[in-house]
Structure 1
Amino acid sequence: MKQQDPTAAAPHGADQRRGPFRAGERVQLTDERGRMNTITLTPGTAYHTHKGFLNHDLLIGSPEGCIVESNVGQQYQALRPLLSDFVLSMPRGAAVVYPKDAGQIITMGDIYPGARVVEAGVGSGALSISLLRAVGDDGYLHSFERRQEFADIARGNVETIFGGPHPAWKISLGDFQDEVVAQEAPGSIDRVVLDMLAPWECLDAVATVLAPGGVWINYVATVTQLSRTAEAIRADGRFTEPDAWESMVRGWHLEGLAVRPDHRMVAHTGFLMVTRRLADGVTGLNLKKKSKGEFSAEDLNAWTPEAVGEPAVSDRKLRRAARDASSTVQTKGTKSKGGEVPAAPEQGH
């Protein structure tokens, strides 16, 4: 068996997941009733509850998985948060891609180490984190976002979980369909991941930058978005027949012989659809499916965030989330060395 070189540099962020707890990192505390809280370790401070307090210094330097006691004997189990825990509790300005969907995107989109990937609709950076873990230090992820505030939140969250800027990540501001063809060479991208309102508007841009055989995966919220994207792909002819699905996760209650499904579950969050780029000059096979691609004028004019049920996010909330994400990075002493994200070009929404 090949021995690992102990002097070789660890993949980016790996050292954040190993060894004893350090000042500035996040720790998940679970009490004796199973309630969880996440704290950021700060020397000389304490975690306070209605059942006493727990000194952070008891955790700093202790091994992961230890049990510590508060001043009144309350016991806590201490572990580093998993990626799924971090995503659901991190500062956000937009709805995040749930872990169950991120896992499907990585696997069904065949995101592999070293892949060259572009994504659009960065939101709060949840999917960006999963994509960066998949492509690794030697891969490439170029994220496109229309709003400066979302880019700031995503940058803070990515740098928090990786302990600083990731060497494979680039983030740009602007409309995906315009910027990706200006910044990426034709046929140079292995995978395209779109989490946006109207992915069919990006069809030409995707076909331009995606290599033959490359995978395009879309994440959309509604049946109407799914339908229109599928019909646009079929009509274009440069892609394979699209496949679509959704995933639902139901937990189980485990206690002795009382083993049963939980009363609540994570049901519909979004639809996923995958298609692949055909070679230049090739037209996709006619799979003999009946297809009606007509949409009424009312349908075509209804694609706004409010019309499909997305809640409006105030500028104040975005600024607060960006400050929270940035402050977590600075607490760990890992402020970004790179340049700032350029100001977003003015555009209509």
Structure 2
Amino acid sequence: MSQTDSTSTASAPHGASARRGPFRVGERVQLTDERGRMNTITLTPGTAYHTHKGFLNHDALIGAAEGSMVENNVGQHYQALRPLLSDFVLSMPRGAAVVYPKDAGQIITMGDIYPGARVVEAGVGSGALSISLLRAVGDGGYLHSFERREEFADIARGNVETIFEGPHPAWKITLGDFQDAVVEQEEPGSIDRVVLDMLAPWECIEAVATVLAPGGVWVNYVATVTQLSRTAEAIRADGRFTEPDAWESMVRGWHLEGLAVRPDHRMVAHTGFLMVTRRLADGVTGLNLKKKAKAEFSAEDLSAWTPEAVGERAVSDRKLRRAARDAASTIQTRRTQGKNTDTVEAIETSGH
């Protein structure tokens, strides 16, 4: 390796080296068979990937170039590639529903998350959005994530450290309620962007207004129309933010085969609503835009914000513990196998 290459590698953003070079022990690899079916495995020496059509030794992939074509013991061919972020998010251990890639991409763009930005988010869930936010702010940025449940925090930590090959220098995670903890740990007006994925974001208006800098962007991700309406009306009534914009996105793939080009029969439709608003300067009141009607909420409406009421599936403690163990074991395997590989290389280099 030349001096220029060494300098480039040393100064590369955190986790970038994990995306280059041959496959390594402990790495996740996506295998695609001859029928287009995909499976993700974690490379472990001496083990094999088994299907009803034979087995493929992991050793055949360790050290191979990305994009290799490998063959199992009965001649079945597999295409081997590193999972993209979108693939990783949909296959990683999880305890809560993840923010889909189509929504994460829009949060980054419409929320104007830039390198070096200071961002806070809540809740963390399984860490899918945290990974996208960390990639956007970079090593020189700052992401402070707040999560109420320790099990979710453990799962998120394992997934983040897996994809970045260790702790990310820009990331901090805190257990606790966002509206209380964020004002205790962040200076007023010190945050550039706030991203909330929670049941009742309107309860956090005071906290957001306190820590968000003038001109800063507040992004909300909610699942239902009633949550969307309640949040929008609360933001308007507060007066310290711009008129909120809201939308949803749907992704429909296309079937491409010769002249048989048509939309797929399935699509990724509604996953959640996104809403964006911006913090005004202190002492400024937002524009009083004329509205035809004002939404009213009954006492029953305001007391109905539970996970079950908005359609979230309950996650058992057993499932959460298993997901946390899976996330932690992946990064631990990577670290252990990496150390073993370094030891072998050192012995070989010394000539012993």
**Bucket of the pairwise TM-score, normalised by the shorter protein:** over 0.9
Relative distance call for 1:103 and 1:96 in structure 2 (3 A) is: same
CA-based RMSD: 1.3
- Of 56, 59, 65, which residue of structure 2 is paired with 1:57? 59
- Seen in structure 2, the aligned counterparts of structure 1 residues 195 and 47 have a Cα distance that, compared at 3 Å, is same
* Residue of structure 1 equivalent to 2:317: 315
Cα offset, 1:298, TM superposition: 1.0
Q: How does 1:174-193 map to 2 (within 5 A)?
A: 174-193=176-195
Give the Cα separation in 2 of the matches to 1:290 and 1:209. Answer: 32
What does residue 216 of structure 2 align with? 214
Q: Residue 11 of structure 1: which of 5, 8, 13 is its match? A: 13
- Given that 1:144 and 1:171 are in contact with CA atoms closer than 8 Å, whether structure 2 keeps it comes out as yes
Bigger share in helix: 2
Tell me if structure 2 keeps the 8 A contact 1:140–1:169. yes
Which residue number in structure 2 is paired with residue 138 of structure 1?
140
Give distance in 2, aligned partners of 1:309 and 1:6: 48
Structure 1 residue 6, shift from structure 2 partner = 2.8
CA gap of 1:91–1:242, structure 2 versus 1, over 3 A, is: same
Length, aligned pairs only: 333
Q: CA deviation at 1:162?
A: 0.5
Counterpart of 1:152 in structure 2 is: 154
The residue type paired with residue 102 of structure 2 is K
- Match status 1:84 vs 2:86: yes
Distance (Å, rounded) in 2 between the aligned partners of 1:271 and 1:299 = 19
2:9–2:17: 8 Å Cα contact kept in structure 1?
no
Residue 44 of structure 1 and its aligned partner are, at CA, apart by: 1.3
- Pick one of 243, 246, 263 that aligns with 1:244: 246
Q: Deviations over 1:169-221 (max 9, x none)?
A: 00000000000000000000000000000000000000000000000000000
What's the counterpart of residue 28 of structure 1? 30
Looking at structure 1, the residues matched to 331 and 292 of structure 2 have their Cα atoms a distance apart, in angstroms, of 52
Code of the aligned partner of 1:41: L
Candidates 179, 183, 194, aligned match of 2:196: 194
Any idea what the Cα deviations from partners look like across 1:12-47, whole Å, max 9, x if unmatched? Answer: 000110000001100001011101111111111111
Q: 2:230 aligns with which of 224, 228, 231?
A: 228
Aligned-partner Cα distance in 2 for 1:300–1:50: 53
Q: Tell me the SS of whatever aligns to 2:320.
A: helix
Match of 1:306? 308
| 3-state DSSP of counterpart to 1:6 | helix
Q: Describe the shift of the 1:38–1:331 C-alpha distance in structure 2 as closer, same or farther (beyond 3 A).
A: same
How far the C-alpha of 1:90 sits from its partner, in A, is 0.6
Aligned-partner Cα distance in 2 for 1:184–1:291: 37
Match of 1:163 in 2: 165
Identity of paired residues, percent? 90
SS in 2 for 1:316: helix
| One of 92, 111, 114 as aligned partner of 1:109 | 111
C-alpha distance after superposition, 1:121-178 (max 9, x if no partner): 1000000000000000000000000000000000000001100000000000000000
Give the counterpart letter for 2:117 in structure 1: A
- Give the Å deviation of 1:294: 1.8
TM-score normalized with structure 1 length: 0.94
State the Cα distance separating 1:291 from its structure 2 match: 4.0
TM-superposed CA distance for 1:289, in Å, is: 2.1
**Letter of the structure 1 residue corresponding to residue 219 of structure 2:** I
Shift of 1:290: 2.9
Residue type of the partner of 1:304? T
Separation in structure 2 between the aligned mates of residue 7 and residue 57 of structure 1, nearest angstrom:
26
Taking a change above 3 Å as real, the CA distance of residues 326 and 111 of structure 1, as seen in their structure-2 partners, is: same
Provide the rounded CA distance (Å) in 2 between the counterparts of 1:264 and 1:135: 34
Question: Could you tell me how far 1:334 is from its partner in structure 2?
Answer: 6.9
Gap change, CA 1:59 and 1:171, over 3 Å in 2: same
Q: Quote the Cα distance in structure 1 between the aligned partners of 2:16 and 2:292.
A: 50
Q: Which stretches in structure 1 are left out of the alignment for 5+ residues?
A: 336-349
Q: Which amino acid aligns with 2:27?
A: E
**Map of 1:331 onto structure 2:** 333
C-alpha contact 1:163 1:334 (8 A) present in aligned 2: no
Check conservation: 1:164, 1:334, Cα contact below 8 A. no
Partner in structure 1 of residue 277 of structure 2: 275
